[in-house]
Structure 1
């Protein structure tokens, strides 16, 4: 039932999307709504200084979904960009969907709630819309492995939600076996699983497993394969360029639309104002099944982080 409802709402969002000035939303399995596209903010130390302005530009361009993490060391700058947009009347807090994440060194049951509060202090917010376990790997302060079961961490995440620090809770970089473990030991389904997805890493089985459990999927690093490969690739270029030409769009816009049309929620990162605006301009066209199949064939089962 959760899957049927989620997909029905997703289709309704897509039906109405062409008239939207902001990204359409879909309902999560806990009843809250998440925008279909967000601003990713992971980057270099140099990028951190640009994030306040990038967040403001994104909100100005119609983004309502901003994704960050404790690991990114930019929560304070993200919060400043949000505060700027609110103070200038672009949005109200309730218009925004803000995600942050618990890092690996805070997986202990007594560490999770304090970590969430620390992120909120940096963001300057009373709550986040979505709080994620960043990965399944628990670590000590020195980065060495910690013997903490992921179920312990998930139960503490449920407490974060109970305390009102996050409206929704979810996970990131989880495989199907990890999802089933925390669900079976808590009966609480994650609202979202955020994973790396792009034409080099299509993750079709994992996506199907998540959707079959009523869990929404956020796709990070949608353009990472283009950066990672360096120069041109005739097969990829001809596929993406031919689709882009058909719709009068850029190849980046085609990649984002490919993810959206697979019922995924991409979070492209950029600190360039023009690209931020361009990335939002993907709700006036849709790919055919043939287009999606052609892009799926570019899959290499290769993460951009393999090296």
Structure 2
């Protein structure tokens, strides 16, 4: 056997081992998460857990209704998506297609640096700066609302959406753009009729990753959303305190007795979060394959 063949087999084995470790780690995580979460339902009905409207884990009897927490996560995430997706895609188009090289060489690294800022810093900024602005501008009893959490999560998702969308737009073959311009299209027509559709697969992946960042965020929403476990109305719920599933786990896990129903309920919430993100990933893969096939 030649040294080249041995090196190739060694690299192949190393890559296989790395992939196997990732799959095994995910499998063990699922066992750990669902094993403790499912123990709740030996004492508490699963339909009450999913549909009840009260989360009072320390009451007698305890109420473990996840519905207000789930809806709180949904309304904050939807608000973040509405805020971040149009802005992020617009910035990506500007950096890739419209900005001069000097400006784009500054904006791209700056947006990527924003992704590395710790979430607690975003939360502190939201608590000190944005919360009073929301409260005074809208004349609300408190500025710690779902709207504040949506804005902060939108800001946190922007670097991911901008960076991946810009890479997707920049990877569109130059011949497509030049062909469109040669046929008489303006630059704007080329962007929204050729460039953006051709990069839609990458843009959809960026949006889904942004949604994943928003729905899984803990520290920021815990600091700026008020943590009130009530079912939010729509659209009035945007201007009221809410509590998300991630914030509930972070707030209560440190003080809950291990092995209690409350302990298992928090693991059940983590299981719901896992299933939710899993479904989002399935949808993302479907969207990517669909648009890639069409193009």
For Structure 1 versus Structure 2, the TM-score category normalised by the shorter chain is under 0.3
> What is the TM-score of this pair, normalised by structure 2?
0.22
> What is the TM-score of this pair, normalised by structure 1?
0.22
Bigger fraction of residues in helix: 2
Identify which of structures 1 and 2 has the higher relative contact order when contacts are C-alpha pairs closer than 8 Å and 6+ apart. Answer: 2
When Rg is computed on C-alpha atoms for both structures, the one with the higher figure is: 2
Bigger fraction of residues in strand: 1
